Amino acid sequence: MTRLFVDADACPVKDEIYKVALRYGLQTFVVANSFIQIPDHPLLERFIVDSGPDAADDWIAERCRIGDIVITQDIPLADRALKAGAQAVGNQGKPFTRDSIGSALAGREIGEHLRAMGVATSGPRAFAASDRSRFLQELDAAVHRAKRALAYEAARRR
């Protein structure tokens, strides 16, 4: 069964995730460092992790697998999810793929290096209404890809 893992701290599309999860009947894990209100539904589970810098990322990365979808803006977490066989989708509707993750990691490293040298860098662009629509389209497509991946994996094991 496809599961959704939500890196929920500062995620602007949680309501959209809940709607998609309930429409497709997907078990959804909402992972955060602090309490986050979620709808009362048996498919939606909240996990509050320790306040360490990568605690939520570690929790998600240790559990995701083929057929799962991880929703995050955290590039290293997206990389870990892809390595586990899951899909990774950014909050603005951009999928992380095996082809794109290397350049995303490199860009992140360059940004960290520049900031360490005292260079002011611009952060990610502001979340726009069009991002919400793009996110919903990409999450819907990811669900269909995940179901195909699970069917393929099941057939391969026979």
Q: Residues 68-85: pLDDT tens digits? A: 999 999 989 999 999 999
pTM score, whole prediction? 0.86
How far apart are the C-alpha atoms of 19 and 64, rounded to whole Å?
21
How much is the mean pLDDT over the chain? 90
Structural domain boundaries in the chain: 3-157
> pLDDT confidence of 55, banded at 50, 70, 90?
very high
> pLDDT confidence of 4, banded at 50, 70, 90?
very high
Q: What is the pLDDT of residue 127?
A: 81
Q: What is the pLDDT of residue 88?
A: 96
Query: Using CB atoms within 10 A of its CB, is residue 124 exposed (0-12), middle (13-18) or buried (19+)?
Result: exposed
**Per-residue pLDDT for 22 more than 80?**
yes
Q: Are 89 and 142 in contact (CB under 8 A)?
A: yes
Q: What is the DSSP string of 34-77?
A: S-------TTEEEEE--SSTTHHHHHHHHH--TT-EEE-S-HHH
Distance of CA 122 to the CA centre of its chain: 22
What residues pair up with 5 in beta bridges, in sequence order? Answer: 29, 70
Percentage of the chain exceeding pLDDT 70? 88
**Hey, which CATH number is domain 3-157, 1.10.3470, 3.40.50, 3.40.630, 3.30.110?**
3.40.50
> pLDDT confidence of 115, banded at 50, 70, 90?
low
> pLDDT confidence of 106, banded at 50, 70, 90?
low
